[in-house]
Amino acid sequence: MLFSSLEFIFLFLPIVCIPYFLIKNIKIRNGILILASLFFYSFGEPKAVVLMVMSIVLNYGLAVLMEKHTSAKKLFLTASILVNIGLLFWYKYTGLFVSSINTVFGLNIDVPVIHLPIGISFFTFQAMSYIIDVYRGDTPVQKKLSHLMLYISFFPQLIAGPIVKYHDIEKQIYERRVDIAKYSAGCKRFLTGLFKKVLIANNAGILWEGISGGDISTLSLGGAWLGAIAYSLQIYFDFSGYSDMAIGLGRIFGFEFLENFNYPYISRSIREFWRRWHISLSTWFKEYLYIPLGGSRKGNIRTYFNLITVFLCTGIWHGASWNFVIWGLWHGFFSILERLGLGKLLDKCRILNHIYTLTVVVIGFVIFAITDFSALREYLSVMLLNSNHMLINDSLIFSLRCNALMLIVAAVFSAPLYTLIRNKFKDNAVYALGEAVLFILLFVLSIAYLVSSAYNPFLYFRF
């Protein structure tokens, strides 16, 4: 069930909200959210919900054992990590592993087809963050299974994040404020995400699929770059839109999730980009991998090794395909290059470093998007080498004319212009009325689009 679906907006959400707001008891409210979350997940993954519940129970039990048997804490932590990583490997990477073995050694082992449970990367990482925090002593063991169940299975962030760390919302599970102000703010945030997803990401996706799915041999240099920019816009507004909706839904029910995006396309370095892009994943790897490896405390060579390891894992986390590995290493390479001196050189020209960052990011997203290496090579040859010897053609001009409004709106909302205006005039009554009218208009337009269009994917569901 998609957040940007009519059944979620007009059926599931009202059915959950009505009893939740009528009942004031926090335990019953938590029970409502757990039942709603299990139903939400089973709606699309009826079998995988058992896997998720088993994962939660296992991590709960290992954390309790860790507290009771402190001398064996490391053993229980190791067991938990092996089980969690093992689940991820089996469901997500077995096919890639077997096919790679076949390629390298010339074997002919049957490649198993294993269905990937939706959101497994997200709920597994949340479970791991909980048990690692318990091992470190950063958070107490959760004695109530229902509380841990709510933390991991809570439907707003279950399917595609943001990755919520247990210590960030522990107290909110049993003590949170639910009022009209939070509800209103949550609705606005949800509508912002719905608009970004439905009216920008979906249309950018249609443009990208029209360009990348056609005959690349007829593609111009400008057309290839337009397609790459369209995909970069699609994945940003798709995922940041989902994060906005998740944060908004959490706020409606009284939870405060940390931000997951902070206008990454205004970045002036790859290092800054990763401080603004998918923040919950970046901070997860920093806290649970980069720093334990030594961070930047053990000399330059070790720092570069740690960085490339983190970016390699970031690429692998996104999917079981070698293009994701290359994408992760691509960002790792430029991150290291900036530390070696490129960053200081680019800082001398603010426009140049912004162009450099966007160029690296957009090329990277082409690598991210195209899993077939022959198609990827052909697309990049047009995009970077102008192998078709065409700068522009009629197809490019037509695409620009048809998508000009979408591209302009996407460019505006990729920058913090609206945020600056809102912060400046938020106490103005006229602005408040205008904002209310704007949100109603965005809601009506989004619903009209959902009614009339069948194109409504969520890219990050596959991760």
**What is the rounded CA–CA span in Å between residue 187 and residue 244?**
10
Q: What is the pLDDT of residues 416-453, one digit of tens each?
A: 988 888 888 777 888 888 888 989 998 999 999 888 87
DSSP calls for 9-77: IIIIHHHHHHHHHH---HHHHHHHHHHHHHHHHHHH-TTHHHHHHHHHHHHHHHHHHHHH-GGGHHHHH
Give the number of other Cβ atoms within 10 Å of residue 56's Cβ.
21
Q: What is the mean pLDDT of the chain?
A: 91
Q: What is the pLDDT of residues 166-220, one digit of tens each?
A: 988 999 998 898 889 899 999 999 999 999 999 999 999 999 999 998 888 889 9
185 phi/psi in degrees, rounded to 5: -65, -40
Rounded to 10°, the helix 350-369/373-385 angle is 150
Rounded to 10°, the helix 120-136/145-153 angle is 140
Q: Which amino acid is at 134?
A: V
Q: Given this model, what pLDDT does residue 463 score?
A: 57
**What is the rounded CA–CA span in Å between residue 122 and residue 241?**
17
Q: Let me know: does 188 contact 207? Beta carbons within 8 Å.
A: no
Q: Could you tell me the pLDDT band of residue 459, with boundaries at 50, 70 and 90?
A: low
Task: Using the predicted structure, report yes or no on whether residue 7 has a pLDDT greater than 80.
Answer: yes
Task: Using the predicted structure, report yes or no on whether residue 64 has a pLDDT greater than 70.
Answer: yes
**What is the rounded CA–CA span in Å between residue 171 and residue 199?**
36
Q: Which of 76-90, 107-121, 306-320, 404-418 has the lowest mean pLDDT?
A: 107-121
Rounded to 10°, the helix 180-195/429-452 angle is 50
Give the number of other Cβ atoms within 10 Å of residue 207's Cβ.
22
Q: What is the pLDDT of residues 268-293, one digit of tens each?
A: 999 999 999 999 999 999 999 999 99
% of the chain with per-residue pLDDT over 90: 69
Q: Which of 255-264, 337-346, 431-440, 454-463 has the lowest mean pLDDT?
A: 454-463
Q: Given this model, what pLDDT does residue 458 score?
A: 63
Q: Let me know: does 204 contact 175? Beta carbons within 8 Å.
A: no
Question: Phi/psi class of residue 85: alpha, beta or left (left: φ > 0; alpha: ψ in -120 to 50)?
Answer: alpha
**What is the rounded CA–CA span in Å between residue 397 and residue 383?**
17
Q: What is the pLDDT of residues 130-174, one digit of tens each?
A: 999 999 999 999 999 999 999 999 999 888 779 999 988 999 998
**What is the rounded CA–CA span in Å between residue 12 and residue 3?**
10
Q: Given this model, what pLDDT does residue 328 score?
A: 96
Q: Which two tokens stand for residue 362?
A: 């957009």
Residues acting as catalytic residues: 318
Longest CA pairwise span in the chain (Å)? 71
Give the residue ranges of DSSP H helices in 199-260.
Answer: 202-212, 221-252
Q: Given this model, what pLDDT does residue 144 score?
A: 94
Taking alpha carbons only, the member of 341, 333, 397 closest to residue 363 is 333
- For the chain, the structural domain boundaries read 6-176, 182-268+347-462
